[in-house]
Amino acid sequence: MPFTRLPSPIAAALTERGYAQPTPVQAAVLEPQALGRDLIVSAQTGSGKTVAFGIAMAEDLLALVAERGDFGPPLVLAIAPTRELALQVSLELTWLYATAGLRIATCVGGMDPVRERRTLERRPHIVVGTPGRLRDHLERNALDLSGVAFAVLDEADEMLDMGFRDDLEELLDATPNGRRTYLFSATMPKPILALARRYQTDALQITTLDSNRGHGDIAYHAVAVAPADIEHAVVNLLRYHEAPTAMLFCATRESVRRLHAVLMERGFAAVALSGEHSQNERNSALQALRDGRARVCVATDVAARGIDIATLTLVVHVELPRDAETLQHRSGRTGRAGRKGTAVLIVPIPRRRRVEMMLRGAKIAAEWVPVPGASDVRERDRERLLERLSAPIEDASEQDRALAAQLLERRDPADLALALVQAHRQALPEPEDLIDLGGSAGAGAGEQQHRPGFEDVVWFRMDVGRRQNADPRWILPLLCRRGHITRDAIGAIRIAANETYFQVPRNIEAKFRDALQRTWRDGDEGEAGVRIEPSPEAPPRPAGNAGGGRGANGAARPQGYARPQGNGGQGHRGKGGPRRP
């Protein structure tokens, strides 16, 4: 249905902006039962909530402006959790009420408070801001809330999670009792409902969320990886999807700093957003994402609030969200306003069950898919390059055509095509080889799924085992460093109580032995002191999961190893590894 029952200035602004039909949440606030009432609205991030509360109060707000004249305290107080979201709300309301001539003031952290106070002195009709800055202006008597007729809390649940409850209560307590209060959020946990009971009267609860899934425009994928392969999985996911803009979520500032450094080193155009960045740095990062100079953003949950980038089509949960609400908030950065998006959860194998429970609780049907390997990425590169070069050439300049003809005179077309392919690949970060999980994160030790190159193998043994905390996540890097080989050259790993057995192909046995001898330091307390030597025979196959390690196909299987009880190792721990016997 078209927009109805709206004042002509607001209808004109919507038409000029290209709005033909309201979104579900916008249509809901215009229903007769919603008019003139307090509202609790649960709607997905990116569903048009800002325009929804703007049109919900439009008729009564413009009537109040006409009644009182052009001066007086603010009539609308809109509160958002972050600077970015507050600025976004302010921009939306600015164009919505521009034709009506309403003045809007924005008060957020990181801006000049003196300039904000001057703006407030000019008696704006609408004040938008973050809780802390608005409370500061209120306590300095720069903000008069005695005339507020509409109070809006956007992303109220996030504001409570961020510790703004006291600020919100002080601000709302300073407004008149007869105001109309709108609570808009993607989720409605119990603390929000308690806030609603205190500050709202006979509120109408509206929800436009599909109860069967978290977001209709987001495809959820989950990939199970070995814990040591998380960063490699990130690289391959970015390369496989090649999204115009991707957002990677980490849990801490330190994780953001590390992953950002790793991606920059690998050649990705990446920016970082966390609490340690200044406002200027945040603005520069967001601008780089919007104009295409950066395509990857590594962020914490709070730092990413309020970001709306049209080209953001991929969200990767590098570190798992703490709950279903955080999962939906993070994923809601993509799939906004009818656009399609993909959200990928990188799940360390030991945490798969927890993630499955969280997905069921959120009613999200995520598809478990294999993490893209290096060959998958290269195949997608080939498809994209063929598609790009097969597209019709339009608007080629005369200079370009002349240069193309000159190149054809000098080189064979096949050589030119080869040079083009090589130039294309050199501009892309290399994909990573991942630990082979054998198609199942929980594959049993008895499964015989051989991979090419391991038809003829030699068994080696190490003098550490389960009782010394040995596991594949530590063993694999150690073998690569000591033996000067790659992970692909290591086959099955079987971890016993006090020793560990593993395979290498027979054709590299001699080179592997020489490297082990050169890197061994008798008596060393670190990994150089771990004795690694050929085993005269294959170890006995463990029963069930008792042996742990890797299956016969060489797949790392962290679920099988046992943790030591007490001081079962009876020794000291080498640097970076298990207890030495």
DSSP states of 74-108: -SEEEE-SSHHHHHHHHHHHHHHSTTTT--EEEE-
Same domain assignment for residues 343 and 414: no
Of residues 301 and 182, more confidence is placed in: 182
Residue 247 has pLDDT above 70, yes or no: yes
Q: Are residues 368 and 398 both part of a single domain?
A: no
In this structure, how many other beta carbons lie within 10 angstroms of the beta carbon of residue 319? 18
Same domain as 512, residue 393: no
Domain range for 531: 457-560
Give pLDDT tens digits for 139-158: 999 999 999 999 999 888 77
18-41: pLDDT as tens digits:
887 888 888 888 888 988 899 998
Residue whose tokens read 């119990």: 190
In a domain, 436, yes or no: no
- Using the 3D structure, point to which of 143, 172, 207 is the last residue of a domain: 207
Q: Which of 140, 172, 207 is the last residue of a domain?
A: 207
The β-bridge partners of 460 are 502, 534
Q: Which of 207, 232, 250 is the last residue of a domain?
A: 207
Contacts of 569 (CB under 8 A, 6+ apart): 467, 468, 469, 578, 579, 580, 581
Rounded Cα distance between 58 and 336, Å, is 24
Q: Are strands 296-299 and 270-273 parallel, antiparallel or unpaired?
A: parallel
C-alpha to C-alpha distance for 493 and 276, rounded to whole angstroms: 42
DSSP string, 178-237: T-EEEEEES---HHHHHHHHHH-SSPEEEE---TT-S-TTEEEEEEEE-GGGHHHHHHHH
**Pair 386, 299 in one domain:** no
pLDDT for 230-244, tens place per residue? 999 999 999 999 999
Q: How far apart are CA 153 and CA 195, in angstroms?
A: 11
Q: What is the pLDDT of residues 445-493, one digit of tens each?
A: 333 345 566 778 899 999 888 888 787 778 888 898 888 888 878 888 8
Dihedral angle, C-alpha 265, 270, 271, 272, nearest 10 °: -70
Q: What pLDDT is recorded for position 87?
A: 87
Q: Are 157 and 191 spatial neighbours (Cβ–Cβ below 8 Å)?
A: yes
State the pLDDT at residue 306: 65
Counts for the chain of helices (H) and strands (E), in that order: 20, 20
Q: How far apart are CA 7 and CA 112, in angstroms?
A: 35
Q: Count of domains in the chain?
A: 4
Same domain, 366 and 380: no
Q: Which residue has the higher pLDDT, 433 or 180?
A: 180
| 388 lies in the same domain as 333 | no
Is 348 in a helix, a strand, or coil?
strand
475 and 516, same domain (yes or no): yes
Q: For residue 401, is pLDDT > 60?
A: yes
Give CA–CA dist 36/55, Å, rounded.
Answer: 12
Checking if the pLDDT of 339 tops 80, the result is no
Q: How confident is the model at residue 347 (pLDDT cuts 50, 70, 90)?
A: very high
Sheet holding 76-79: strands in order across? 104-107, 126-129, 76-79, 150-154, 180-185, 39-42, 204-207
201 shares its domain with 235: no
CATH number for the domain harbouring residue 498: 3.30.70.330
Indicate whether 577 belongs to any domain: no
Q: What is the Cα gyration radius of the chain?
A: 30
| 109 close to 133: Cβ distance less than 8 angstroms | yes
Q: What angle do CA 414, 419, 424 make, to 5 degrees?
A: 125
Average pLDDT over residues 202-217: 67
d(CA 273, CA 301): 9
Instruction: Name the amino acid, one letter, at 527.
Output: E
**Is residue 285 left, alpha or beta, with left meaning phi > 0 and alpha meaning psi from -120 to 50?**
alpha
Check whether residue 115 and residue 245 sit in a common domain: no
* Nearest CA among 67, 66, 116, 114 for reference residue 87: 116
194 and 237 belong to one structural domain: no
Assess whether 312 and 340 both reside in one domain: yes
